[in-house]
A and B are shown apart, each in its own frame.
Chain A
Amino acid sequence: MPLRPSPVDHAFRTEWAPLVATLVRETRSLELAEDAVSEAFAEASVRWRTDGPPNKPGAWLLTTARRKAIDRIRRDARFAERIPALAEAAERPQTEPQRFGDDQLALIAGCVHPALNPEAQVALTLRYVCGLTTEQIAHSFLVPTETMKKRLTRAKKKIEAAGVPFAVPESDQLPDRLEAICGVVYAVFTEGYASASGPELIRGSLCDEAIWLSELLCELAPDDAEVHALAGLVLLTDSRRWARTDAQGLPILLEDQDRSKWDGARIERGLVHLARSAELPGVGPYRLMGSIAGLHARSTSVDDTPWARIAGLYGALLTLNDSPVLRLNQAAAMAWSEGAQVGLAMMDELAGLLSDYPYLHSSRAALLAKLGRTDEASAAYDRAIELSSNDAEIRWMRSRRDDLTASG
């Protein structure tokens, strides 16, 4: 990103979602809204360069987008009855699109509607709420642009044909719908943070989008404990982004990270969201995961980390949703608080359930190495390498394994 983003770039970041949200309500069509807002930005990039940016860029864009929508509707008889209201709105004195309001919540709720499949929900959210292009989304998810284009086209067809509403969910459904929205935001984050495959370990832009989305959600649903906890969780986790890989892109374990590289601003913001969440009723998975991330963020070293409390929080998470991967995390925390032998025994119990999960084997390998069981550690690394599809992780595990045999 250039040091000083152009006025159009800046407006894109701040205005895209509110504009699409307003136009979706006014035109009742995601497709019309997308085209109209895209055309308004295209016109802005030409006009603002010659005339200079307007005083109220958001208002200028909204009026322009409404006019573009009318032009488009005129070419399509199906939408004719939608013109009068739009034309009236376009003639009104210029107003900014509503920010952090119901329109934007309605837009997100439509993109994350349960009648759409999870992959489509993620793609739609990144396209319409974050304003990423189809190419950018395809690149982030390591799929061909054509595949992503088809995914979005299919989803839009379904939305249009099935009558998927873009509306603020009814209050009795709001908690469930917010939970689903949080799920999509967290999926975007984890895809960016721990990309399971591909050349780069951390695809930062997806993490940035997830953080932006999570904080937008805090504005839209300020009284939801899990929404604030999610923002806390992603900010606190992402604060370690610059410390968790080395210059070659290889992962650095928590105990070896230079904690001065943890991002203080993200930690501070994350802890504020976590504190806000704690004031609100209801404890869900994001609150528990956020609390774990918060304990790490406040610790100066692994020795200073309250591992027993972390293991306890994993225990609470397991009562909400028992999963072998969570048990593995709990075992890793127990290895710190109770000793490698205890952690290893817990991991061995998971061998059947997680036999194809590379992190089980790499976690076992690290504990076996600590206990001086070099041959078994080396074999566990071999198995993890065999199962991993992440290039950086594979290189890292190879070097760990080779260090073992060199010293042993």
Chain B
Amino acid sequence: MNAPQDTVYRLEAITKTYIMGDVEVHALRSLDFDLKRGELLVLLGPSGSGKSTLLNILGGLDTPSTGRMFYENQDLSAPDRGRLTEFRRSHVGFVFQFYNLIPSLTALENVKLVTDIAANAMDPAAALELVGLSDRMDHFPAQMSGGEQQRVAIARAIAKQPAVLLCDEPTGALDVSTGQVVLEALLEVNRTLGTATVIITHNAAIGAVANRVVRIADGRIARVEENARPLLPSEVAW
């Protein structure tokens, strides 16, 4: 089955069940989802709603228990681990709540780490320039603020020019004004590179900057809202 041309991901009746001892935890219950090319999408939901599980499946860190997932017409429902690694290596960029920079590498080297192994990579310095960090390239993570570290993480995620950027609570560890700067960076990337971006958060206010907001509750999609006129991050407060 072919996905429409403007769709990056198409998920059909995805379920994810974890066995925790004697208990079965249903993280996702028959979920349908798609992501359009160049779209900025916010996944909203309280903790335990299944949003992280969805993000992990989208990023090839986890596989669905049942259902099918297509990425650019490729069926990634149950591929082997090696193929998932190759998928992450070429197509997906990740941004985490706690940045996950390598402490022993400078900002530039953290970005280079990814461009070293990517086929169609940007110049690492250009990636840092895009997130406004040209003057911090030779700093180690411990020498930078949380916001700066997160922007390095964004530069690292987009430097390989991925089709999708997946962000797990990217502003979760930051104060409001720093969070706004980080959101600016994500939007800038989305605008200039046209990278389809998924941001998961439990912070409803952030939904205002997205093209589309998908609310998840109890492993299902509860509501989808289209944003005709997304706000600028500076207009959002939480």
Tell me if chain B binds chain A. no
| Interfacial residues, chain A to chain B (CB-CB below 8 A) | none
| Interfacial residues, chain B to chain A (CB-CB below 8 A) | none
